[in-house]
Amino acid sequence: MDINDMDLMDFEDMDSIEPSRQTIRYRRRANPFLLEEPDFKSKYRFSKSFGQKLLDLLREDLAHDPRGCPLSPELQVVCALRNWARHEIQDDTADLHGVSQPVISKTCKEVAECLSRISRRFIKMPATLIDQEESMRKFRSIAGFPMVIGAIDCTHIRIKKVSADGGQLYINRKGYPSINVQVVCDADLKIMDIVTRWRGSVHDSRIFRECRLKERFEAGAFSGLLLGDSGYPCTSYLFTPLLNPSTQAEENYNRCHIRTRNTVERCFGLWKQRFRCLLRGMFGDIETAKKTIVACAVLHNLAIDMREDVFPEEEDPQEQTSSQEPVVQAAIRNTVRGSIRRRQFIETHFN
């Protein structure tokens, strides 16, 4: 059309001239909770009832502005579960659910943040005297070791190489970058306390020395004991095994101590078997990795409460935990008060 002929047109007709627009078509995403139970568990390694419980906990926090066709809370929950439990490449999870890899990465981060905010509802030490006595009873049923309310140890969670200043401090004694995670568990293998802020090169004893839980024990908040390995100093509230038992009572103490403290090793094994990302490593940023570890601890406790079966899978060689005592460093020294109380404890309960 010649621009000079514009004045010959009826200007009312110009209202009907509209630029062509491309129609945006959104891909419909199926609700994973409509799957049959075997199919759901095969895809996500947890039952539908577990997924529904998690969805009920997080639905309000995961609700988004409906514009732009975001992932529904249902899809966000199952995508995070699949990624953490199977340790699947995020591209594969994205292809399965009809989204992009950055969406899966963002979804896992948001779900981890939501779970870490409510972690105190699921990860807590026994507060009342009745709860502490029940914990002691369960521990005593294992090997006859009295007055125990928790077993403590640390485990290394592999992370990607940190290139920033101080990145070498994340290299642990085995030569790879990690976060050294301190855990206290009960006799049911539930996590009662967790610390995820320390780099892989930090020794277990320092993590406990500077944690809030130590202050609570020293303030008399608990009537029972913790059991730890020889990487910790023996104190009046944390008992470690004797390095050179010389009497039958001391050998009985060591035997019962090792069998009872092994609870935390089994807790690590079960935790990492449920969430393979803890076993094989995390490759996001450090802060997201820490929140994901806490989120997996929350889900681990919830799975125990709901009696979730562990998904059948061949055991990974890296998953094997050792019951042998670690090499004791010279800096780990028992307190005088702790040694005296341990001696009195052995004479009272193991003679």
CA 150, 154, 158, 161 torsion-angle sign: positive
Residue-by-residue DSSP string for 140-180: HHHHS--SEEEEEEEEEEEBPPP-STTGGGGB-TTSSBEEE
Query: For the residues 161-179, what does the mean pLDDT come to?
Result: 89
Which pLDDT belongs to residue 63? Answer: 73
Distance between CA atoms of residues 38 and 32, nearest Å: 12
Residue-by-residue DSSP string for 297-345: HHHHHHHHHTTPPPPP-PPPGGG----SPPPPPTT----HHHHHHHHHH
Lowest mean pLDDT among 209-218, 273-282, 307-316: 307-316
Averaged pLDDT score across all residues of the chain: 86
Strand partners, 156: 180
Q: What does pTM read for this prediction?
A: 0.86
pLDDT at 224 over 90: yes
Beta strands 225-227 and 191-199: pairing type? unpaired
Tokens linked to 321: 């935990």
pLDDT at 141 over 90: yes
325: confidence class by pLDDT, cuts 50, 70, 90: very low
Strand partners, 150: 226
Query: For the residues 260-280, what does the mean pLDDT come to?
Result: 95
Q: For a pLDDT cut of 70, what percent of the chain falls above it?
A: 84
Which pLDDT belongs to residue 24? Answer: 44
Task: Find which of 7-11, 26-30, 275-279 is predicted with most confidence, using mean pLDDT.
Answer: 275-279
* Strand arrangement, sheet containing 191-199: 191-199, 178-185, 148-158, 225-227, 238-239
Higher pLDDT, 218 or 26: 218
Which pLDDT belongs to residue 64? Answer: 66
326: confidence class by pLDDT, cuts 50, 70, 90: very low
Query: For the residues 178-185, what does the mean pLDDT come to?
Result: 97
Which pLDDT belongs to residue 87? Answer: 87
Q: Give the H/E segment covering residue 182.
A: strand 178-185
67: confidence class by pLDDT, cuts 50, 70, 90: low
Angle at 284 between CA 278 and CA 289, to 5 degrees: 50
Query: For the residues 172-193, what does the mean pLDDT come to?
Result: 96
Which pLDDT belongs to residue 70? Answer: 74
69: confidence class by pLDDT, cuts 50, 70, 90: low
Distance between CA atoms of residues 148 and 224, nearest Å: 5
Which pLDDT belongs to residue 332? Answer: 67
Which pLDDT belongs to residue 324? Answer: 39
Which pLDDT belongs to residue 164? Answer: 76
330: confidence class by pLDDT, cuts 50, 70, 90: very low
Which pLDDT belongs to residue 95? Answer: 87
Which pLDDT belongs to residue 175? Answer: 93
Report pLDDT digits (tens) over 285-312: 899 999 999 999 999 999 999 999 886 6
Q: For a pLDDT cut of 90, what percent of the chain falls above it?
A: 67
Which pLDDT belongs to residue 76? Answer: 93
Which pLDDT belongs to residue 99? Answer: 87
22: confidence class by pLDDT, cuts 50, 70, 90: low
Which pLDDT belongs to residue 309? Answer: 86
Tokens linked to 13: 């007709």
Query: For the residues 80-95, what does the mean pLDDT come to?
Result: 90
Neighbours of 94 (CB within 10 A): 20
